[in-house]
């Protein structure tokens, strides 16, 4: 198989693979959003409860749940992705300010998949600096 035919084959698969990435990211957003506001599939808030809707985790959970639903269906994907990227930037900057210097494992795995899809190179296989053992491959 020659190099131009390989590039042509992968170029033809690009829309399908980007759709798979969009759907997986949407499911991750919906999973963590529903865990914050409905405690489903598992409670992740301290004490095992749900977050009040007008609190910071409640607003984040609402954005993640309904933004993930819009991404999953494919409605308003660019504006929704922009809003969710801003929400994730705010969450990570608040978390780093609180003293936790490394993002969680879920963010690492999502970053790893998006970095691979955009052909980014990283010094580590995980796509970020070495962190907890659960994220090392």
Structural contact between residues 126 and 99, judged by C-beta atoms closer than 8 angstroms: no
Would you say 54 and 14 are in contact if contact means Cβ atoms under 8 Å apart?
no
CA distance 28 to 65: 9
pLDDT reading at 98 higher than 70: yes
- The answer to whether residue 90 sits within a structural domain is no
Give me the percent of the chain exceeding a pLDDT of 70: 69
Tokens representing 12?
A: 């033809």
- Per-residue pLDDT for 72 more than 80? yes
Residue 111 lies in a domain: no
Sign of CA dihedral 115, 119, 120, 126: positive
User: Count of domains in the chain?
Assistant: 1
Q: What tokens does 132 get?
A: 């907890």
Q: Compute the average pLDDT of residues 3-7.
A: 76
Q: Which domain holds residue 69?
A: 3-76
pLDDT score, position 74: 92
Residue 54, domain member (yes or no): yes
* Mean of pLDDT values over 69-97: 92
Residue 99 falls inside a structural domain: no
- The reported pLDDT for the residue numbered 121 is 47
Residue 108 lies in a domain: no
The per-residue pLDDT for range 113-129, each reduced to its tens digit, is 555 554 444 455 544 55
- Is the model's pTM score more than 0.85? no
Specify if 113 maps to a domain: no
Say if 88 falls within a structural domain.
no
pLDDT value of position 136: 46
pLDDT at 40 over 60: yes
CA-CA distance, 137 to 103, in Å (whole number)?
16
Structural domain includes residue 11: yes
């Amino acid at each position: 198989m020659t190099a131009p035919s390989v590039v042509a084959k992968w170029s033809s698969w690009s829309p399908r693979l980007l759709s798979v990435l969009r759907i997986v990211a949407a499911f991750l957003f919906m999973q963590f959003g529903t865990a914050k506001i409905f405690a489903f599939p598992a409670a992740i808030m301290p004490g095992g409860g749900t977050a009040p809707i007008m609190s910071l985790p409640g607003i984040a959970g609402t954005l993640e749940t309904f933004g993930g639903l819009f991404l999953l269906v494919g409605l308003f994907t660019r504006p929704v992705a922009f809003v969710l990227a801003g929400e994730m930037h705010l969450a990570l900057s608040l978390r780093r300010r609180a003293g936790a210097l490394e993002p969680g494992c879920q963010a690492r795995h999502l970053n790893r998949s998006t970095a691979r899809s955009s052909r980014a190179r990283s010094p580590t296989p995980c796509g970020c600096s070495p962190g907890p053992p659960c994220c090392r491959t």
